[in-house]
Amino acid sequence: MSAIDTNRVLGGTREAGFVSKLVAAVSSWNDARTTRNALNRLTDRELDDIGLVRGDIDRVALHR
């Protein structure tokens, strides 16, 4: 039976940093997209109940 070293640190930190930044950017984009879609499905009355108007949706989705 052979042993596998699972505690190995990746050698290419620059590439790993790029990949992790790319994954984070895609994840952030998808979060904003799903938030925007969910808020757009609400009626004006429902948006008013949570203190928003249609013009606020993009700002809220982008966390600004």
pLDDT digits (tens, 9 = 90+) for 13-55: 667 789 999 999 999 999 999 999 999 999 999 999 999 999 9
The CA distance from 35 to 24, in Å, is: 16
Residue 8: pLDDT band (50, 70, 90) is: low
Please work out, in degrees rounded to the nearest 5, the angle formed at the alpha carbon of residue 53 by the alpha carbons of 49 and 54: 130
The model's pTM? 0.68
Scored b (16 or more CB within 10 A) or e, 29-63 reads eeeeeebeeebeeeeeeebeeeebeeeebeeebee
Residue 23: the pLDDT is 94
More confident residue, 47 or 63: 47
The CA distance from 45 to 52, in Å, is: 9
